[in-house]
Amino acid sequence: MSAPTGEENTVDALPHHITIGEKYGPAMKVKDEAEAAVYFERCVEHTMARGRTRTEAEAIERSNLGYYAGYYDAETRERVERLFRCAHPVFGAIAERGQPTAGQAFSVGPKAASEAP
């Protein structure tokens, strides 16, 4: 992947119809900042194509990347959060709060359900 110049519509744009796994799975394999920047831009463009502003799209993508990384091991989650400058929307950044225990993760569901409108 090459870095976007801002002048082109990314050649490697994500397909309009894509699963969550197809969109965020590749991000879990990214190993360096340059590749992360390019892939993040692709994700942002994908979301902007659905009527979101850049600011909204960036926030959505950081939240989604952080959430998706939560299904991976701690090493992958830490790397994704660092490279994409994101955090898990429920558990926060692994660098600040560490990996949640099974009990902590389990307790989030009932708490969220009780606070739902």
Residue 85's alpha-carbon distances to 6, 90, 117, in angstroms, are 20, 15, 30
- Phi first, then psi, for residue 26 (nearest 5°) are -60, -30
Q: What is the pLDDT of residues 45-101, one digit of tens each?
A: 999 999 999 999 999 999 999 999 999 999 999 999 999 999 999 999 999 999 999
Among the ranges given (20-24, 67-71, 108-112), the one the predictor scored with the smallest mean pLDDT: 108-112
Q: Please tell me the predicted confidence (pLDDT) of residue 68.
A: 98
In this prediction the pTM is 0.84
Please tell me the predicted confidence (pLDDT) of residue 17.
Answer: 95
Cα 60 from chain centroid (whole Å): 8
The predicted structure's pLDDT at residue 110: 85
